[in-house]
Amino acid sequence: MGGTYPADLGEDMPYRMQPAATGRFAIVDIGSNSVRLVVFDSLARTSPTVHNEKSICSIGRDLGATGVLHKQGVEMALEALRRFRILTDKLDVMTREAVATAAARDAKNGAEFVRRAEAAWGAPVRVLTGEEEARLAGEGVLAAIPDADGLTADLGGGSLDMVAVKGGQTGEAYSLPFGSLRLYDMSRGDLDKTRRIIDAELSRLPIFKGMDRRTLYVVGGIWRSVARVNMLGQDYPLHILQNYTIPYDRALDLSNVLAKQGRKSLERLAAVSKRRMELLPYGAVVLHRLLTTAKFKEVVVSANGVREGLMFQRLSAEERAKDPLIDYATIENTRRSRFPAHALELFHWATPLFPDENAEQRRLRLAVSLLSDLGWRLHPDYRAQGTYYEVLNMPFGGADHRARAFIAAAVYHRYSGADEIPDDLRMPGLTDKQGEKRALRIGLAARVAFDLSASAAGELAYYRLRLTPTKVILEVPSRRSAIADETVSKRMGALGEALDRKAEILVLGG
């Protein structure tokens, strides 16, 4: 998974304090149900979100029946845009972009609304075509999941937009004139009618051919609510929606059940907001019909969508090609570690311990190395636990939940030295024995490295690790023999045990 860095992860890997200084970039997304503002710190592969807020306006309510935008919703949207204009002025935004989607595109008074929206926002508003909306949602998915392979489906209030994704590119795209809000208006509670509407449209699309056993990437607030229901029902240990995966059969059953729930049953679902509740069955019906149209391998939730796609589309080819996980970890290392260059030295120093690792294992070990010195400012009694939780919940892309749990576990071992994760910190279902053992080995190797170097750049070059069939050997020059004290000896012993070998410290002349 991920984009590119130098193939050998060599010394030329860039370090930077923060993304390229292109100025803050604001995006407004005027949807059928909500109006949202996102302000990114700059145009870069990894850019912090400075501000993110939405206003539920429902300008597309009753559009199917009346053909025009909802009057009260329009006024709420314009008020939100005026607020967003004031905020972006105060946030020193350099570049602004605003897009409008299905409701503004399809309504008879859409052009009039756009004109008023531009006056309220103070900048142009671009009305996206359905295909553009689909492709931007696909770009948003690719921004966080570069190796996405399957179908991206973005369910908004007014449309269902779909695009094929593979090899870091979007393919054929389609937009259907129904979203959860419009289906609600069109069917007025008749879910059988809703199914007929959806099936009639899906049956004419060739995009599902060849999608069996590939992945369905779902975008949109309604489907995030479906995912939250599944998380609670499965007692899932990690409450992060990005890259949350639901097996096909489970998604099929869940969507079928939710589509049949009445208002009282839905009110008992703590995972669903009151604003989403009345539309949830319609989103569940759409998901169910998609899953019966093609037998996908799984459903993966994307927290990214059109807004992130707009950002990603603007990046240079060089920025787009970067691995989102490694780019994020590089920036955090440079910003927060005591000696940022030490991280890459640690990575190369420990490489002899992992002669059989594959490319993905090597990539995750690099991420651990880059994030291994983030906890030095924390209280010593809290470093292991605090850094574990922080790494587990960091907003990086390019990693599924199993990879998150692995990276966090390795960093925990780096600080704790314990040979197991405590029960109250464990992520059941996201780790296995083999992964846990590898995380322990990486963490304990980093622990030895920090004892030898105190994180100072250039220090690890004096000490060499070797792996034999029976031993893990640390070579120390005699003039630096004092470094191999009782603590280093003890921690080498723990590392040797984790590697199923005896540990030896070999003092060499010179």
- Domains of the chain, by residue range, sit at 24-127, 131-308, 324-508
Alpha-carbon distances of 186 from 197, 404, 429, rounded to whole Å: 9, 42, 41
C-alpha to C-alpha distance for 484 and 473, rounded to whole angstroms? 12
CA nearest neighbour of 501 among 460, 451, 463, 444: 444
User: In the prediction, which pLDDT does 64 show?
Assistant: 81
Q: Chain centroid to CA 145: how far?
A: 7
Residue 8 CB-density burial (10 A; 0-12 exposed, 13-18 middle, 19+ buried): exposed
Residues pairing with 475 in the sheet: 464, 506
The b-or-e profile of 430-466 (16+ CB within 10 A means b, else e) is bbeeebbebbbbbbbbbbbbbbbbebebebbeebebe
324-508 has the same fold as 24-127: no
**Structure token pair of residue 482:** 């004092």
User: In the prediction, which pLDDT does 17 show?
Assistant: 38
For 131-308, the fitting CATH number among 3.40.50.2000, 3.40.718.10, 3.30.2130.10, 3.30.420.150 is: 3.30.420.150
Residues pairing with 55 in the sheet: 35
User: In the prediction, which pLDDT does 12 show?
Assistant: 40
Looking at the domain covering 24-127, what would its CATH class be?
alpha beta
- Rg of the chain in Å (alpha carbons): 26
Q: How many residues does the chain have?
A: 510
Check: CB of residue 495 under 8 Å from CB of residue 445.
Answer: yes
Q: With H, G, I as helix, E, B as strand and everything else as coil, classify residue 339.
A: coil
User: In the prediction, which pLDDT does 10 show?
Assistant: 45
Check: CB of residue 417 under 8 Å from CB of residue 449.
Answer: no
In SS3 terms, 291-322 reads as: HHHCCCCEEEECCCCHHHHHHHHHCCHHHHCE
Residues pairing with 477 in the sheet: 508
C-alpha to C-alpha distance for 236 and 183, rounded to whole angstroms? 31
The single-letter code of the amino acid at 28 is: V
Question: For the sheet containing 49-56, what is the strand order?
Answer: 49-56, 34-40, 24-30, 93-100, 126-127
pTM of the predicted protein model: 0.92
Contacts of 267 (CB under 8 A, 6+ apart): 277
**Structure token pair of residue 38:** 């996102």
What pairing do the DSSP bridges indicate for beta strands 24-30 and 34-40? antiparallel
Per-residue pLDDT of the chain (510 residues; tens, 9 = 90+): 554 443 344 444 444 434 444 689 999 999 999 999 999 999 999 999 999 999 999 999 888 889 999 999 999 999 999 999 999 999 999 999 999 999 999 999 999 999 999 999 999 999 999 999 999 999 999 999 999 999 999 999 899 999 999 999 999 999 998 888 888 888 877 888 999 999 999 999 999 999 999 999 999 999 999 999 999 889 999 999 999 999 999 999 999 999 887 766 766 666 666 666 778 889 999 999 999 999 999 999 999 999 999 999 999 999 999 999 999 999 999 999 999 999 999 999 999 999 999 999 999 999 999 999 999 999 999 999 999 999 999 999 999 999 999 999 999 999 999 999 999 999 999 999 999 999 999 999 999 999 999 999 999 999 999 999 999 999 999 999 999 999 999 999 999 999 999 999 999 986
For 324-508, the fitting CATH number among 2.40.37.20, 1.10.3210.10, 3.40.50.2000, 3.40.50.620 is: 1.10.3210.10
User: In the prediction, which pLDDT does 11 show?
Assistant: 41
